[in-house]
Structure 1
Amino acid sequence: MRKSVNRPPTPDAGENQEKEPSLREIINIKLIETGEKERLMELLRERLIECGWKDEMKALCRAFVKKKGRNNVTVDDLIHVITPKGRASVPDSIKAELLQRIRTFLVSAAL
Structure 2
Amino acid sequence: MSTLPTPSHPAPTEAQQLESALRDRLINSGEYDRLLILLKQRLDKTGWQDQVRGIAREQARGDNVKLLSLVDQVEPTAFGLIPAEVTQEMEKLMAEFVKKNVE
CA distance in 1, matches of 2:72, 2:42: 23
RMSD value, Cα: 2.1
Percent sequence identity over aligned pairs: 23
Partners of 2:102 and 2:70 lie apart in 1 by: 40
Say which SS state the counterpart of residue 101 (structure 1) adopts. Answer: helix
Give distance in 2, aligned partners of 1:103 and 1:49. Answer: 23
| Structure-1 separation of matches of 2:71 and 2:11 | 35
In structure 2, what is the equivalent of residue 64 of structure 1? Answer: 59
Aligned residue pairs total 95
TM-score normalised per structure 2: 0.80
Greater Rg by CA: 1
Q: Which residue of 1 aligns with 2:87?
A: 95
Which structure 1 residue ranges, 4+ long, deviate > 4 Å from structure 2? none
Gaps of 5+ in 1: 1-13
1:80 aligns with 2:72: yes
Tell me, in whole angstroms, the C-alpha distance in 2 between the residues paired with 1:49 and 1:26. 31
